[in-house]
């Protein structure tokens, strides 16, 4: 028997839950299953949200119009994750980018793949690469990859960073 005091013990916490997508996200995910990116447009400010929002956070009005966008887009800014951490899914280094998908007004946070992380640039043109098996998640876009088009100027997207 040890007389050492107990100062700490591990008590793992676990929580299982069911998420209800809601009708707008459900519509979006159904389109994902067809390999299409479909956003929603605000009737007032005309901004297109991807993933779609049921209401425009700026105008406070319900979005009604669905609009197919992409598959190309522009990297507005990014980070390269260069270290391992608990719960990490991808192997570092990998690039996380704000991708302004063509036809939208809100950058999407996604992975950029098929590209040396040291070649990442703001203004880089990319396209969505779909998984072979599509599931109802935005992760069905495996990543965005360089699409071969020349970089666009910073001024052309500076209002979105």
Partner 1 sequence: MSTPVAITGIGQTRYAAKRDDLSMPGLVREAAKRALDDAGVDWSDIDAVVLGKAPDMFEGVVQPELFLAGALGAVGKPMMRVHTAGSVGGSTAVVASHLISSGVHKRILTVAWEKQSESNAMWALSQRFPFAPPTTAGAGGYFAPIIRAYMRRTDAPEHIGWQVAVKDRQNAALNPLAHLQIPDISLEKVQASPMLWDPIRYLETCPSSDGACAMVMSCEDDGHKDAAWVHGTAMRSEPMLFAGRDEVSPQAGKDCARDAYAEAGITPADIDCAELYVPFSWYEPMWLENVGLAESGWRAVDEGRTALGGDLPINMSGGVLSSNPIGASGMIRFAEAALQVRGRAGAHQVDGAKLALGHAYGGGSQFFSMWIVGSERPS
Task: Point out which residues bind partner 1 (CB under 8 A).
Answer: 7-8, 11, 13, 19, 21, 25, 29, 42, 45, 47-49, 51, 53, 56-58, 76-83, 85-90, 93, 96-98, 105-106, 109-111, 117, 122, 136-139, 141, 143, 154, 158-161
Helix (H, G, I), strand (E, B) or coil at 12: coil
Query: Is the Cβ of residue 49 or residue 144 nearer to Zn ion in the bound state?
Result: 49
Contact of 150 with 125, CB cutoff 8 Å: yes
ω before 32 within 30° of 0 (cis)?
no
- Identity of the residue, 60 or 150, whose beta carbon is nearer to Zn ion in the bound complex: 60
Of the candidate residues 29, 32, 38, 42, the single one contacting Zn ion (CB under 5 A): 42
Considering beta carbons, is residue 45 or 131 the nearer one to Zn ion? 45
Read off the tokens for 14.
């676990």
Query: What region does 139 belong to: left with phi over 0, alpha with psi -120 to 50, or beta?
Result: alpha
- Cβ proximity to partner 1, 8 vs 34, nearer residue: 8
Q: Among Zn ion, partner 1, none, what binds residue 44 when CB lies within 5 to 8 Å by partner kind?
A: Zn ion
- Provide the sign of the torsion angle of the four alpha carbons 138, 144, 150, 151, taken in this order: positive
| Residue numbers 44-73 binding Zn ion by CB under 5 A | 44-45, 56, 58-59
**CA distances from residue 108 to 1, 6, 29, 49, 111 in whole angstroms, order as listed:** 57, 47, 15, 9, 10
Segment interacting with Zn ion (CB under 5 A) among 15-23, 36-44, 108-116, 134-142 = 36-44
């Amino acid at each position: 028997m040890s007389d050492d005091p107990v100062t700490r013990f591990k008590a793992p916490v676990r929580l299982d839950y069911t998420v209800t997508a809601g009708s707008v996200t459900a519509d979006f995910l159904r389109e994902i299953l067809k390999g299409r990116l479909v956003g929603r447009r605000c009737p007032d400010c005309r901004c297109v949200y991807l993933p779609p929002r049921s209401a425009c956070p700026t105008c406070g009005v319900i979005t009604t119009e669905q609009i197919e966008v992409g598959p190309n887009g522009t990297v507005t800014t990014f980070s390269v994750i260069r270290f391992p951490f608990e719960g990490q899914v991808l192997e570092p280094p990998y690039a996380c980018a704000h991708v302004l998908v063509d036809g939208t007004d809100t950058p999407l946070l996604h992975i950029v793949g098929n590209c040396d992380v040291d070649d990442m640039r703001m203004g880089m043109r990319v396209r969505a690469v779909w998984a072979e098996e599509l599931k109802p998640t935005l992760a069905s876009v495996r990543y965005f990859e360089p699409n071969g088009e020349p970089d666009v100027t910073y001024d052309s997207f500076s209002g979105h960073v």
